[in-house]
């Protein structure tokens, strides 16, 4: 929004300058004044000076609540002073004094936008008519000249429209800057909360992995979870041979109601819904929808949150959290419980199968370390664009009036680019999470690969102009069965990587052909290449190769997602590369049977 106090103070300075100019004009540049006019001119100039000083002091010292009244009074004062000067100088035919009304029109536009820029010129038309009539009546010939009314009125109106439009535009830009800054603040806070939750969840996972003894591991886990999702009772239940077996409990009734080691049927219990992959939030157990509700009510518990323990996409049990208040669990806690369910499921499976699958335990420890690295990586990747967004927004907020239009556009473009970068990062993280959870959806239809290649190449060419992207597609490329959007995502990722590592002025080639019952799509660049010993690493989660010229910014998730999509289509994604000899990614997809 426009700083009204700053406008008022600036106009006050201009008014003081106008008073000084009026003093010079009356004292030195106005000879041949008709009898009786000189005292009136000096009296008006004195009044103008006094009024300018009073309004200047008001602009400096008046409370903010007075600004509308001060502004309106100042506009009326300025318009009146200029009008009276115009009347006092009508004895000079062709005198330009009335043109000073342009300053009043601009002042009105500054204060009231388009409304002020239109209303004041229209209100001045009667004065212009009277001023010309007075000149013709008192000092003619010539007689009344209508052009001396219509032309100034038109110029004043056009000036008001132009100035009012500029003020309106400035207000809109300022409002947009404030909104973007507020949105950046909200994003920063939201991302901060997400990082905190991820760190807390990882601490809980590490607590479960601190011991292979279920009691020790569960005790450490409970201490972490109490600070994450407070509860009055919790339990972990596994599904074994169509039976529900409790392996750990804590809180109310831990040793009396479904204690560790107890077993029972699944049919007719809430576990039926959970093993289907559903996170269940029960706001009031007094409804007694399941047999176990009576025992929980006897413990004074009224609400329950239950999340499936998942191994991949396969439920192996549940974790339940109960509270004594009804309607006690929030949407955020539901989401967090689902994440905990995945972590707990993995940890419990490790404990159960440790002796038989020691290698699996070691692999899961490596995954836990990767999760910790992921939190660190995401924190770093978020911090840089968020710092840029916040810095640009603060600069716009603090220095809007001192920046020129090009500088403001540059800051706004920076905010847009960095928020797009944040959106891409979040998209990769969510896709990876869905792939790991087995919830990454596909919609298979007949797909025209020629069209997908053309779209991906066209988008890459439009998005940048430093590297040329060329498509070479064989004629009559056969259709395949697949998900068009997911395949476009793979191609876009491969082309973006090729462009990222290509020198400016170079070329990226995208070739597609049919070969031995499959469709091959190759994306080639002339970049630094990938060392052979790191070509497997780049397809792993968070895998980043050590490039000769240094790695580019990124999370290391893009190629993991791309290969997962290719394999879901029954295809493969491979790489051919040598240092300093460029890189070629080959996407191979089967034809329709």
Q: What is the CATH number of the domain that holds 585?
A: 3.30.565.10
Helix H or strand E encompassing 428:
helix 405-437
What is residue 80's predicted lDDT score, i.e. its pLDDT? 93
Greater confidence (339 vs 589) lies with: 589
pLDDT over 80 (residue 172): yes
Task: Find the mean pLDDT for residues 234-252.
Answer: 85
pLDDT over 70 (residue 527): yes
229 in helix, strand or coil?
coil
- Inside any domain, residue 408: no
Give the tens place of pLDDT for each residue, 470-509. Answer: 888 877 778 888 888 889 888 988 888 888 888 888 888 9
Give the pLDDT band (50/70/90) at residue 367: low
* Pair 21, 160 in one domain: yes
* Pair 132, 217 in one domain: no
* Pair 498, 559 in one domain: yes
Give the pLDDT band (50/70/90) at residue 538: confident
* Pair 82, 219 in one domain: no
* Pair 26, 148 in one domain: yes
* Pair 172, 259 in one domain: no
- Inside any domain, residue 463: yes
The number of domains in the chain is 3
DSSP string, 193-227: HHHHHHHHHHHHHHHHTT-SSHHHHHHHHHHHHHH
* Pair 348, 265 in one domain: yes
- Where among 130, 158, 178 does a domain terminate? 178
Range of the domain at 477: 445-590
- Inside any domain, residue 230: yes
- Inside any domain, residue 51: yes
What is residue 355's predicted lDDT score, i.e. its pLDDT? 43
User: Tokens in use for 297?
Assistant: 């009510």
- Inside any domain, residue 36: yes
What is residue 552's predicted lDDT score, i.e. its pLDDT? 60
C-alpha–C-alpha distance, residues 498 and 494, integer Å = 6
pLDDT over 70 (residue 550): no
* Pair 576, 515 in one domain: yes
- Where among 123, 155, 178 does a domain terminate? 178
Give the tens place of pLDDT for each residue, 100-143. Answer: 899 999 999 988 888 999 999 999 999 999 988 988 888 878 88
* Pair 139, 253 in one domain: no
Strands 468-473 and 507-515: parallel
Give the pLDDT band (50/70/90) at residue 267: confident
What is residue 305's predicted lDDT score, i.e. its pLDDT? 92
Task: Find the mean pLDDT for residues 162-190.
Answer: 85
Average pLDDT over the chain, rounded to an integer: 82
User: Tokens in use for 192?
Assistant: 């901060």
CATH of the domain at 320: 3.30.450.40
Task: Find the mean pLDDT for residues 375-391.
Answer: 66
Handedness of CA 231, 251, 269, 214 (dihedral sign): positive
- Inside any domain, residue 145: yes
pLDDT over 80 (residue 244): yes
């Amino acid at each position: 929004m426009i700083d009204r106090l700053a406008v008022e103070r600036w106009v006050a300075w201009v008014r003081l300058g106008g008073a000084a100019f009026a003093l010079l004009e009356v004292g030195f540049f106005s000879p041949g004044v008709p009898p009786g006019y000189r005292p009136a001119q000096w009296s008006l100039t004195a009044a103008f000076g006094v009024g300018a000083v009073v309004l200047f002091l008001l602009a400096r010292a008046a409370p903010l609540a007075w600004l509308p009244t001060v502004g309106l009074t100042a506009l009326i004062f300025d318009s009146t002073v200029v009008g009276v000067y115009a009347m006092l100088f009508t004895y000079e035919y062709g005198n330009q004094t009335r043109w000073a009304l342009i300053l009043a029109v601009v002042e009105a536009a500054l204060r009231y936008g388009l409304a002020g820029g239109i209303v004041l010129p229209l209100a001045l038309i009667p004065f212009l008519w009277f001023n010309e009539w007075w000149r013709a009546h008192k000092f003619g010939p010539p007689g009344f000249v209508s052009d001396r009314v219509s032309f100034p009125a038109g110029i004043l109106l056009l000036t008001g429209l132009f100035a009012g439009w500029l003020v309106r535009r400035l207000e809109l830009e300022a409002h947009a800057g404030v909104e973007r800054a507020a949105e950046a603040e909200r994003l920063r806070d939201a991302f901060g909360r997400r990082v905190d939750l991820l760190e807390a969840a990882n601490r809980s996972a590490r607590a479960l992995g601190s011991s292979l003894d279920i009691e020790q591991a569960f005790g450490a886990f409970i201490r972490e979870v109490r600070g994450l999702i407070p509860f009055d009772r919790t339990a972990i239940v596994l599904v074994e041979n169509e039976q529900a077996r409790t392996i750990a409990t804590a809180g109310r009734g831990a040793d009396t109601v479904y204690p560790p080691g107890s077993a029972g049927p699944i049919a007719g219990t809430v576990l039926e819904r959970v093993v289907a992959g559903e996170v269940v939030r029960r706001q009031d157990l007094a409804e007694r929808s399941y047999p176990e509700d009576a025992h929980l009510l006897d413990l004074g518990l009224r609400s329950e949150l239950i999340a499936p323990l998942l191994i991949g996409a396969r439920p192996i049990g549940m974790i339940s959290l109960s509270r004594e208040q009804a309607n006690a669990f929030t949407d955020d806690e539901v989401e967090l419980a689902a994440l905990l369910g995945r972590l707990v499921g993995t940890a419990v499976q490790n404990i159960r199968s440790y002796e038989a699958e020691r290698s699996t335990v070691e692999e899961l420890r490596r995954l836990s370390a990767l999760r910790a690295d992921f939190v660190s990586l995401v924190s770093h990747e978020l911090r840089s664009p968020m710092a840029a967004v916040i810095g640009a927004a603060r600069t716009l907020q603090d220095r809007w009036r001192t920046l020129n239009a090009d500088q403001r556009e540059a800051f706004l473009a920076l905010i847009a680019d960095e928020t797009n970068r944040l959106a891409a990062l979040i998209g990769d993280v969510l896709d990876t999470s869905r792939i790991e959870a087995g919830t990454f959806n596909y919609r298979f239809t007949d797909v025209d690969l020629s069209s997908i290649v053309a779209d991906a190449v066209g988008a890459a060419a439009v998005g940048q102009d430093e590297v040329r992207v060329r498509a070479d597609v064989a004629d009559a490329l056969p259709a395949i069965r697949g998900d068009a959007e997911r395949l476009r995502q793979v191609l876009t990722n491969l082309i973006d990587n090729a462009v990222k590592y290509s020198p400016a002025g170079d070329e990226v080639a995208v070739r597609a052909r049919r070969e031995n019952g499959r469709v091959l799509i190759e994306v080639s660049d002339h970049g630094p290449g990938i060392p052979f010993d790191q070509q497997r690493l780049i397809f792993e989660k968070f895998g980043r190769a050590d490039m000769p010229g240094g790695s580019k910014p990124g999370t290391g998730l893009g190629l993991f997602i791309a290969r997962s999509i290719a394999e879901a289509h029954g295809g493969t994604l491979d790489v051919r590369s040598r240092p300093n000899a460029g890189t070629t990614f080959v996407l191979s997809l089967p034809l329709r049977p």
